Structure formats: C-alpha cells, structure tokens
Structure 1
Amino acid sequence: MFASRIRTLSILTALLALLIMTGCVAAAPAADSGDMAADEMAGEGYPEEMIIGMGALPVTLVGNTVPSLQSRIFSKLLYDTLAVLNEETGAIDPVLLESMELVDDLTVRIVIKQGIEFHNGEKLTAPGLAKSFELLRDADPQKFTWSFRQLNDYESYEVIDDYTMEFTLLEPIDRWANLFANHMPLAPDHLEAVGLDGYIEEPVGTGPYKFSSWQRDSYITLERWQDYPGGVPVIEKVTFRHMPEAAVRVAALQSGEIHIAAHVPPDQIESLTAAGFELYAGDSMQSMYVGINIYGRNEILNDVRVRQAMLYSVDLDGMWNTIAGGFGTKLDCQIVAPGGFGYNPDVQTYPYDPEKAKALLTEAGYPDGFTITGSATTGRYFRDRTFMEALAAQWAQVGIIVEMEYPESSVWLQELIDQTLPPIMNIGLNWYLADNTTSMWGPVGDSSPDPEFLEMRAAKSVIADPVEREAVVKDIAAYICDNAQALHAYTIPALYALSPGLPELTFSKSFEIFIPTE
C-alpha cells in the first residue's frame, strides 16, 4: 500500500511554532535524481542550493505587509519574529524578546534580547523596533490585509530605554501577546534610507537566511547567514521557483529540475512514491474559503435565500474526496476545524440538496437562475482553480452561472487588498488565529455591511476571558452559517513531494519548511 510510504504530519490543535528547527524525518530511499549532479547531493545529503517549485510567489518581501501563504513560507527563513506560537502548549513564547508581561490591564512591557543583529549589521534595539511599529501604524490601511491589522491593536507605545518598550492597549484583552507573535522587525537605518518600497526590493531581516536575488514572477533566492545565532543552516541557498501548474511542478521534480514540489495533486501520490520520491502529507490550519457577496454590493446575493441555495447545491463530500483526495479535514460550515478555538459542534454543513436549492431560487424570484462573476486563484492554494471550476459546475446545475476570472496572483492580491474582487472569490484563511476576529473571517470580517455581525465582532474584541470570548466566536460561526455568508470547504492539505536523498526536512501546519542548522 503506497500510503505506508507517506510521511504524515501530526494533527495539532495547538498553535504553530514558527522557528527554524531541526527536523526528525528519515532520508528517502535512494533513486535516480535526474539532472541533479551526484556531488550536489554528497556530504550530509543536502544540496548546496535547494530549489522549491511553488504555485505562486509573494508579491512583497516584507514579511509584515501581506500575510499570504507564499509570504509565510519565504518570510520565516528571512525574518525572525518577536515571539512565536508554540505548537505544543498553544502559548506565545518570546523569540527576539527577553520577556513580555502584562504590567496592568492596559499596559504591556517587552524587553528585547541584547546582541541581536540584522543581516546588514544593524542592532535590534527598542528605538529601532519602534520604527517597525510606526511603519504599520502610519501606512495606508489598504496596503495591509486583515490578519496583520492585529499588529495595530493598541493605543500607543513608548520607548523606555534601549531595550524596553511599553504598549498601551485599546481595551483589556487576554490575547495581548498576539501583538508580537507575527511581528518581524525591520532594520531601521535601512528602512529610513530606502523607504518601504525600497525595502520590498532589498529586504533585511534577522532570520537564518538573507536576501540574494529576486525576479518577479520567476524566482526568489536566499542564501544562508553565517552569523545566525541559532546556528548556520545546512543548505547554502534556497530558491523558490514560480510554477503555477501542478503538472509542471511534478514534471520538474521528476526531471531533477527542482528538489521539492509544493501542493502535489493526490492522484500523483501513488506514482511518485512508487518511483522513490518522498511524500509529506498532512493537515493544515488553513481553510479553503469561498466568499459569497463579500462586500455586500450585489443585489441578487443580498437575498439570504439565494446564498443558502448556493450552499445546498454543493456536494462538499464529493469535492473533498475527489479534489483533495480525502486529505485535510472537511469543515462543518465554519472556518475552524474540530478541536480548534471557537469550533461550534452545533454548526453543520448544508446537506447536498439541489432540489431544495432550486426551490429557494424560485422563492427568491430566480426560477431560471442568474449569472454572476467570480474570481479564483491559480496555484496560490492547493488545487484552487480545480476547486473553483468544480464549484462553478455544480452551481450551474441549479441555474447559477458564475463566470469565473483567473487573474495573475499579483493582480488578484491587489484586488483583494483594494476590495475590488467580484462577489464570489476564494481564499485560504488561517484558523490558528481564530482568536482574532478579523483574521478568522477574512473579507467577511473585514468589510461586512451586516450590522448584527459587526455588533458581535465588536463585543468579542473587548472580552478578556477566553471562555466567554470563545462562546461569542461560536455564536459568530453559527450566524455566518445560518446566513450563508461563506462556503467553508476543508482544511488545505499539506502535500509536498521531495526528491530522493533529502534528509531531515520537516514542515509545519502553516506550510513553512524547517531547515536544520549545524
């Protein structure tokens, strides 16, 4: 059975660790590696340059600006964060911080570790860190997507001394440490010299790899930083190649052009494992989400009966099994998977019932259906275009014609930020930040015109007690499902294929690749 040869990532309900760490996975069986030279795989078995085929590349190299999947994979090699989500305990642990504490209900004090350097030799200090927070505070909100607006979830900050800062919160909240779990400090002098636009082109961080070169929509290359305090990475260079089509990534892996193919189609697993390739298969904390009338601007979709008809007309069980191959976790009409913070066991997926969908459309005044536009990504998420094409085909069976657009990844992302996407769109949302309402519901949470939803969201944001807050999160999940404001399909599977001979690489549930150090 080929499944015995697939490395399975453990299913964790705790939050993710985002540090580079030593993996613990055994090497794959030896096999022909195609174009890769034999001496390239010599020594410890690691190539001098590891090439990863990606469905899409980030449009910015500043980790704080756009929290896309591609940015996360890249940025966790280039940047360290102030703190990290611990996958075992669910706590937020300091990384670049010596300590962080709640002084009183509204005051948080952080102390920065001394001796931390950026790749260009600048020191990490409190006055310099303040410039990173100032950048986020003063920047145009349209340049930042919702999940990083939590970094501005405070009233003010004050530099106490060279290594100490204090933040005044907007309200007493239990999740104050979230301020630091995603923050990636920027080199202050470099930022001042080149500005944000220049920093995007020439990023400087504190992580184990430093920037080498970037050709937009083609590749990004990083090279290891010899002075990284956590140890020198065993791989000298890491290159991310832009390969939107899964078939192209698989072919490149088989020919030896790349070492790792991301988002491998499930129907390729058996043939790849039979040929000696290593497969990593696991669940993730990213959910395949489809927004329905995300900005509330479409008159037809303003009718809840129409939105409910769209959910009744979808066979999610069939799509999960055929498109995701049964990998990941099928969701229950909510973004959170079972066991996650805010999961509501009383909320269940709409059953597949095309006749009920047609009846609802007739009741709403659309017996012959209607036509609407939609937008879908290609290669940004696991089998995203295939998923949206199948979804449109099922809607068409009840008379709902969704004319899909498939823009380039950078165009789609800019339209997302500008809130100019069509009323139907897909995105991968990370539910490990479900304690942050705007992260949890993406475009719905960020731009919903629904006053009842906005009232619940506002109430949740000031509840300090986690039990009480989770109860509100569950109520919001039920409200979104009852009103059919989104389709939540399944958690996006993490399926990576590796060339034979790559030892000790492991992957997180947020798709980061962990490279050992020596």
Structure 2
Amino acid sequence: MKPVIDAAPHGQGGASFSDDALSDDALSHGAQCHGAQSHGARSDRSHRSHNAIAPHRVSSRRRARLATAALATVALVVAGCGGSRNARSSTAENNAAGAGAGAGAAPAGGSAAGSAAAGSSGAAGGTQAASMGITGTPVPGDTLTVGAQAPATSVNPATVDTAFVQYTYTAYDSLTFRDSDGKITPMLAESWKYTDDKNTGFELKLRKGLTFSNGEKLDAAAVKGSLEYAKGAGGGNGVLLSSVTSITTPDPQTVQLKLSTPNPMLPEILSQSYGIGQIIAPEAVKNPKLLTVQSTSYGIGPYILDPKNTVAGDHYSYNANPDYYAKDARQHYKKIVIKVIKEPAAAINALTTKQIDVLPGDPSQLPQATKSKMQIVALPFVWVGFNLLDRDGMVSKPLGNVKVRRAMNFAVDRDTITKALLGEYGTPTSTITVPGGGGWSQQAADYYSYNVDKAKQLLSEAGYPTGFDLTCAVVPFAGQDTAGKAIAGQLKNIGINVTFKTLSDAQSYVTAMNDKKTPCAVVGYGAQPMWLMGQGLFLPTATVFNGFKTNAPDLVKLYNQAAAASGQERTTLNQQMQMYLVENAWFLPAVFSPVFYFAQPDIGGLKVSASAPTASLLDLYNTK
C-alpha cells in the first residue's frame, strides 16, 4: 500500500503523515506521495495582475503557544525561524556585505547554495540551500491575494507571533530587512554596527526624511520608544530584547543599544522576521489600543491597513502607501489582501481557480497544484524525531547512558522512513540543522549511518543487551504521531519498546515535557540559528523543550563563546555545538519536512532559502 500524505488536522499547515505510510511495503520500498483532490466551483478573481543563558519567566499560556508554533511545519512557521546571517556592520552602499559571515553562512565542507528551476522543488536530496520560482521584469499589479491557514494573532508588531508577521510587516518597515537569501540589508536603518568586540554594544544610523502613516517623523526618539515598548509589551519575542539595558539617542539619526550579555543576532532580530524590529509611530506607542484591525496602521511601510475592508479572522486588506520611500523595491501592487482559508482542500481550490495568487501549503495539495501547473517552491525546514529529554537517567535509567542514545540513532533507517512519509520532498537527517543553515557540517551529518549491528553492540556495552521499555509523549499534530510510530518500529528491532503517551492539545504536551515524568517526546522543530535554538531547545534554561533541564557546562561554554564571536569564529563554534549535540545524542532526528509555497504561474519573486525559509510577500510581483 502506498503512503498517503494527508492534510494536517484542523487546517494547520505541515507535512501530515498517514498511518498508511507505515505499511511494510512502504517502509521497504518507499513510495510516491499523493493526496485526495477536491474540486470547487470555478470563480474568476475581480482583481488580477542576556547572560547567554539567563532564565526568564514564561507563562503556561506562552508555553502552549511556543509548543504550537514549534509543532507547525509549514503555514504556522516556528517562532524565530530562519538563518542568522547577521552583520556586524552594514551600509546602504554595501548591503550585500551586510550579511556578514555569521552562523548562517555555508560552512566549509557544507552544501553549496543552489536554486531549483521554476515550478520545482529544492528539497530533494537535501543538498540545496534555496528554492525559487520564476523571475522576470516586475509589472505593476492591481491586487495580490495571499492565502493563509490561520488568522493574525495580532496586527500589533510588538505582540504578533512570529508565525504571523506577514500581517504586520506589510504595513510596518523594520530597522533591517532579511532578504530571500537570508542577507540582512538596510531598511529604516541605513547602517549598523557592533561597537565592541563582545556583541554587547550596538549602533544604528537611521534614514532621513521618513514619516509614519499618521504624519509623525521617524527619528531616534521614535525608534527608542518603539523598541522599549516592544520589549515590555508582553509579546513572545520581547524576550529577545531582554538583555538590552539601555537605549540612547545621541542625535536624531543615531540609536545606541547597550546589552548586559552578548547578542550576536541583533541585526536579524531587528528585521521584519520577529515583529519587534518593526517600528511603530509614537502616537500608537503611547496608545497601543490603536493597534487593532479597527484602526489604520501606524507604521512606515509599503502598505497601510485598510480597516473598512478588513474582517478579523477572515481577510485583511492593505492599500499601497502613496508616500512610501522604496516603491520600486517593495511596492508592486495597489493592494494586498491576506485571505484566511483554514481547510487545505478549499485553499488549493482557491488557488487553482484563480481566487488567490499565492498559498503556503502542504503535501496533500501537491497533486492538484501540479496538475494545474502552479509554481511549487519547497525547502527542508522542520526536523521531526525524538527529543531524548531524560539525559541524566532520572526516570529512564537507560537514557542516562550516552551509548544507549547513540544506539537509538544508529538503529533508525532515515532514508526509508523519509521516502515512506514524504517521498521526494523529505530530507533524511541525523542533525537538527538544515543543510546550508548555521551550525551544519558534513561531519555531523555523516555521524550516524544506519547500522543495526552497531546499535545492538552499543546497547550491550551499556548493559541493555535485550533492550528496554521507553515512554514518549506525542500530540497528533501534523502527523507527528505517525512519524513517531515509524521511528518506534525501527527501535523495536534492537529491543527498545516505545509506548506513546498521546496527548490531545499543546498545553498537555508542554506539561508532559516539563513534568520530569516523561523521558521522551516526539517533536517537530523548525530550523533556527544556533543562538536561538539554544534558548528554545538545549540550554538548561530552555523553555518547553529541555524539560529535565539538562546542563552541559561544555555546551554552555561553546554557546557563550559563539554569542560573543563573529564571522568564521562563530561559524566554527556553532558547528562545534552541533557536533556536541550529535555526539552526545541529545536528540534522535529522522527527517526534515519541507515548507511549501504554491503560486500562480505568472507570479515572480517567490523564493525561500536555508537562511530565510519563509517567503516575503514584499518580494512578489506580476510578470505579465
């Protein structure tokens, strides 16, 4: 029986794996992915053309949101996702160099950047660092309509979840801009630099002559007020500014930040990708109640939110800003509409019947997108596997032995699992870093080959020649329960019997990972820079995903050194951190699931890369 890759439950995005994918035939030979096609009525569109590990308190509600974000694999992209090609300094005249040679740079011996042909995937084989659709000369367009699988959590840049920043960056320019290659380029800031060699001092120079949509002028005081508001507004990304101890404005065009601990990612954090770098007009900073869909937006952006033609939860309309300073670069339409379509079948129908232009999607939509000759852009993004939480053996004594954890990694045939679950669109992985992303190295990628004999030998050396029983938490989100079953089926070959604790919601899942009673969990975690991944995944203060608070001083030392480093030094330290995690088998990753985008054949500029895995609406344009 061939595997079926179904739509994710509840309309969520992601590669969702059917139990049929676990048939003996599928796991032996792999299979092509396919999904049910649905057909709707055809309709023409009316418009076309800190201390590096300093702890912070996180509420249970925030933990649930973090878990939900980390579980989503396509449309609800992980908070803080993306590359870390940040610059120590950048200028408008040399914006290509603004990317620097940070952790997001392709390491020596790593995969070379590449791009897929129009309408094809860059995911197959796992070696490409970019995937793109067509290019061409931009033609002014009327309305760009974009499908979305969930409504905005907020239209306030300071509180919007990272997965939904498209609802805010459309109307609010940020200090820096992360392009589709992951390079950090000027936006409201013309240039920036670290002012010391420890990444604890940072300075930005602002563009002159810009005004917010309400008429107020952009100056250093406005930026200071917006950043201070974002730090304390209660949004999920405010913590990224927690180490900022002071913001000073020596002149109207200069903003200086002082930090208590190194932060090597400020140029990226202040981009459009995290919300908090999107600058809000002083009037709305003083009165945040204005930052809703009932009011126009208060930013300096290519578009302005149109409250009269916006219905929260259904569609969000943005009109071109007539006074925007960079129309040629980021204003290619008179209007952008983000239309919420929760059901995957309805969403792909809307695309193929030309009701929408672009859609972040999942594998269930591939057959219909292919048949209708839509552009398909895909890139490996979310690793799915086991989080071996109990590394000190507090609940599961075997997991406290590194030989056991290594044995588990050697026991999994990642190629077979990947083919069965995702076909050509999946990428086998034994690391938690995507090829081309920060920290990736060939050495780490090649560390675990499929070797059952070696796995059994390691188990025997650890004192468990006949295996042991293991309990793993799982939530049936985006098919991760099915992926977990595939891994468990292979662990059974070396005597490890996995019992799943199936949980019904994100909050229960978070609780299980943090109650120090559940030694293992099935996870899906989006590719991130190592600095962010440490805070979310493997530092002793990491919220949610290091529930047993494993503390490895050598790993923390590498993390702190990397946080204060730059260029090749930081790239090397990031790779050393990744090797530590691989050698000590903190995780059992199996497959990278892709992020998918589908688009009409004449939409140009659609591109994703290892350092920028989510496409920007501002890059899109009509080609005819």
* TM norm structure 2: 0.62
After superposition, the Cα gap between the structure-2 partners of 1:251 and 1:478, relative to the gap in structure 1 and judged at 3 Å, is same
Q: Does 1:511 align with 2:614?
A: yes
Which residue matches 2:597?
496
Provide Cα deviations, 1:242-297, integer angstroms capped at 9, x if missing partner: 426x44533444455544332331x7545533x3331222325x342546145879
How far has the Cα of 1:353 moved from its partner? 4.5
Give the one of 125, 128, 149 matched to 2:222. 128
Give the one of 306, 309, 333 matched to 1:234. 333
Q: Does 1:167 align with 2:261?
A: no
Summarize the alignment of residues 86-235 of structure 1 with structure 2, pairs less than 5 Å apart. 92-103=184-195, 105=197, 107-138=201-232, 143-144=235-236, 149-170=239-260, 177-178=267-268, 180-181=270-271, 183-194=277-288, 204-212=298-306, 218-227=313-322, 228-231=324-327, 232-234=331-333
Which residue matches 1:471?
572
Q: Do the aligned partners of 2:148 and 2:341 also contact (CA within 8 Å) in 1?
A: yes
SS of residue matched to 1:109: strand
Provide Cα deviations, 1:464-486, integer angstroms capped at 9, x if missing partner: 35333322222211111122222
Summarize the alignment of residues 432-471 of structure 1 with structure 2, pairs less than 5 Å apart. 433-434=529-530, 437-439=531-533, 442-445=536-539, 447=542, 448-452=549-553, 453-462=555-564, 464-471=565-572
How far has the Cα of 1:94 moved from its partner? 1.8
After superposition, the Cα gap between the structure-2 partners of 1:4 and 1:126, relative to the gap in structure 1 and judged at 3 Å, is closer
How far has the Cα of 1:87 moved from its partner? 5.6
Distance across 2 between alignment mates of 1:175 and 1:305: 35
Identity of aligned residues (%): 19
Provide Cα deviations, 1:225-249, integer angstroms capped at 9, x if missing partner: 33232224415232242426x4453
After superposition, the Cα gap between the structure-2 partners of 1:104 and 1:479, relative to the gap in structure 1 and judged at 3 Å, is closer
Q: Do the aligned partners of 1:288 and 1:429 also contact (CA within 8 Å) in 2?
A: yes
One-letter amino acid of the counterpart of residue 6, structure 1 = G
Q: Do the aligned partners of 1:295 and 1:443 also contact (CA within 8 Å) in 2?
A: no
> Can you give the 5+ residue segments of structure 2 that lack an aligned partner in the other structure?
1-115, 543-548
Distance across 2 between alignment mates of 1:498 and 1:179: 28
Distance across 1 between alignment mates of 2:337 and 2:481: 27
Q: Do the aligned partners of 2:384 and 2:589 also contact (CA within 8 Å) in 1?
A: yes
Distance across 2 between alignment mates of 1:343 and 1:167: 30
One-letter amino acid of the counterpart of residue 442, structure 2 = P
Give the one of 329, 342, 351 matched to 2:439. 342
After superposition, the Cα gap between the structure-2 partners of 1:103 and 1:467, relative to the gap in structure 1 and judged at 3 Å, is closer
Which residue matches 1:282?
378
Distance across 2 between alignment mates of 1:278 and 1:104: 49
Which residue matches 1:321?
419
How far has the Cα of 1:137 moved from its partner? 3.8
After superposition, the Cα gap between the structure-2 partners of 1:4 and 1:91, relative to the gap in structure 1 and judged at 3 Å, is closer
How far has the Cα of 1:322 moved from its partner? 3.5
Which residue matches 1:243?
342
Q: Which moved more, 1:200-209 or 1:79-88?
A: 200-209
> Can you give the 5+ residue segments of structure 1 that lack an aligned partner in the other structure?
17-21, 28-43
One-letter amino acid of the counterpart of residue 258, structure 2 = T
RMSD of aligned C-alpha atoms? Answer: 4.4
Which residue matches 1:403?
501
Q: Do the aligned partners of 2:121 and 2:425 also contact (CA within 8 Å) in 1?
A: no
SS of residue matched to 1:493: strand
Q: Do the aligned partners of 2:205 and 2:254 also contact (CA within 8 Å) in 1?
A: yes
One-letter amino acid of the counterpart of residue 333, structure 2 = V
Q: Do the aligned partners of 1:324 and 1:493 also contact (CA within 8 Å) in 2?
A: no
Q: Do the aligned partners of 1:23 and 1:516 also contact (CA within 8 Å) in 2?
A: no
* TM norm structure 1: 0.73
Number of residues paired by the alignment? Answer: 468
Q: Do the aligned partners of 1:371 and 1:403 also contact (CA within 8 Å) in 2?
A: yes
One-letter amino acid of the counterpart of residue 472, structure 2 = I
SS of residue matched to 1:6: coil
How far has the Cα of 1:66 moved from its partner? 6.0
Provide Cα deviations, 1:198-234, integer angstroms capped at 9, x if missing partner: 6698664333233346777x43413123323222441
How far has the Cα of 1:104 moved from its partner? 5.0
Provide Cα deviations, 1:413-448, integer angstroms capped at 9, x if missing partner: 9x59x97897525344334x34xx234673224525
